[in-house]
A and B are shown apart, each in its own frame.
Chain A
């Protein structure tokens, strides 16, 4: 999918470019006036970050299928506010980048999931240390909530090197965008 982009930049020139799934590509400058506009990619990438509605490297159809698969899985039992974040949401991914899925939950729900996932804890154990890390940072990793298999299925179906799935506490350390909500 691509579409043309034209716009005035710095009042000095016009650039023609393309929006593609991978980001913005400047095709050729159309100089109006004496000086061509300097580097414009950062500005345009900024706009791209804010307006991205599908993760970098995916088509709309793939993302719809991806979303459906996640929503039909155990992941949705933890919470329904499920989003893509990280480099593929920011438009900064490389070919081998992970895709990061966040299941955002409020404090009460986070504590409940934590209690269920870490219910047999011995004081001083490594498991207790992982729990304390989860509490401190507001994040529970996929293995602790039995979502590793979903991650593997998504990796195999969509060809990602890794699919990271986390329960994220709303307002917590890792509750940071940019975000792309699942379809």
Chain B
């Protein structure tokens, strides 16, 4: 093994979506499955544009999740979004944007962490301001 080998030369479209919700993992997965129009393979969903995995966030903390701008790191779920590399950046951003907007539309506070988060709706931050439950989640 080469200890100095650069491992990540390919485009990095991977995006983490942190979800602040106490619904069950199954319900969250099934809800996303409606958006994808496919049946879930356990907690994974995929279509021609990419794949998502609905994962439990191992760092989940019911107190820290409300802790200002770092709170998202402690949300209950982490959705791993892996757009297909063939999409190119523009389409990858569109793919993630649609997932994010769908989650928001379903009432799930979601926060994106990825290389292109500034290109996402509301810069990938939690929720758009026009959502009615905004006040509860305003960052301190």
Contacts and interface: CB of A to CB of B under 8 A. Distances in A.
Given A155-B42, A164-B58, A126 B117 contact: yes
Given A126-B111, A144-B16, 18 more contacts: A77-B5, A119-B115, A120-B12, A120-B115, A125-B117, A125-B118, A126-B113, A127-B113, A129-B72, A129-B113, A143-B16, A144-B14, A146-B12, A148-B53, A148-B80, A149-B51, A162-B55, A162-B56
Interface in B72-117: 72-73, 78, 80, 82, 111-117
Interface stretch (A10-18, A35-43, A50-58, A109-117): A109-117
A113 B73 CA distance: 20
Contacts of B118: 122, 125
B70 interface: yes
Given A117-B8, A125-B118, A133 B80 contact: no
Nearest to B69: A129
Contact of B8 (A121, A143, A146): A146
A127 B115 contact: yes
Nearest to A120: B115
B57 to A, nearest CB: 9
Contacts of B63: none
B24 interface: no
A78 interface: yes
A126 B125 contact: yes
A80 B4 CA distance: 13
B7 interface: yes
Nearest to A106: B3
Interface in A65-114: 74, 76-80, 109, 112-113
* Tier of interface size on chain A: 35 or more
Contacts of B7: 74, 77-78, 113, 116, 145
Query: Of B41, B55, B118, which is in contact with the most chain A CB atoms at under 10 Å from its CB?
Result: B55
Contacts of B73: 129-130, 133
Which interface class (under 10, 10 to 19, 20 to 34, 35 or more) fits B? 35 or more
A27 B124 CA distance: 57
A77 B8 CA distance: 11
Interface string B27-42: 0000000000000011
B53 A116 contact: no
Most chain A CB inside 10 Å of its own CB: which residue of B8, B42, B69: B8
A162 B58 CA distance: 11
Contacts of B3: 109
Interface in A9-34: none
Nearest to B6: A116
